Amino acid sequence: MSKYPNAFYRVSVKAVIRNSQKHVLLVKEHIEDWVLPGGGLDHGEDAVAALERELKEELAVNNVLSAKLLSTYTFYATRKEAWYMWLLYDVEIDSFDAEAAPDISEAAYVDISDFMNSDNKAEQHICKAIIGKILE
C-alpha cells in the first residue's frame, strides 16, 4: 500500500455525544461492534444536515442543540477494503430514544478508555479518533 492512499474516501459524519461522566454514546447497528453514531455523507449533502439525519435515524434524536467540528480521522478498513474519512462532531442533544430507532440494536454511554488496549478494530478506531480530542 502506498504512503498516500487513493484520493477516494467514504466520508462519514460521526457524533461524539458525552454524558456528565464524560462517557461517549455508542451504538450497535445489529452487529457486535460498538460504533459512534452517524453515517455516510450523501453526495451534495451538508455535513451538519447529514449528522442530524443520521442521529434521527439511529437514535430518534429530534433536537441537536449544538454540533461543532471536532476533527477528522482517516483509516483503511481491511474488512471492506476501503479508505474512510470520519468528520467528527462534538454534539449536544436534548434526548434520544434508542427503542424508537430501528437502525440500531443497542445504545449506551461507554467509558471509551476501556477500549485503549482492545483487539477489536472498531473499538481501536474510536479510541484513535477521539482520545486526546475530548479526553484528558
Q: What is the pLDDT of residues 54-84, one digit of tens each?
A: 999 999 998 999 999 999 999 988 877 888 9
**Beta strands 24-28; 64-77: pairing state:** unpaired
C-alpha cell at 89: 462532531
Q: What is the mean pLDDT of residues 7-29?
A: 90
What CATH superfamily classification does 10-130 receive?
Answer: Nucleoside Triphosphate Pyrophosphohydrolase (3.90.79.10)
* Range name among 16-30, 46-60, 118-132 with the lowest pLDDT average: 118-132
Question: Exposed (0-12), middle (13-18) or buried (19+): which is 30, by Cβ within 10 Å?
Answer: exposed
For the chain, what are the domain ranges? 10-130
- Contact between 98 and 54 (Cβ < 8 Å): no
CA angle 125–105–108, rounded 5-degree value: 60
pLDDT tens for each residue of 114-130: 888 888 888 888 888 88
DSSP for residue 134: T
* pTM across the whole model: 0.87
Q: Which residues are CB-neighbours of 9 under 8 A, at least 6 positions away?
A: 74, 83, 84, 85
- Whether 51 has a pLDDT exceeding 90, the answer reads yes
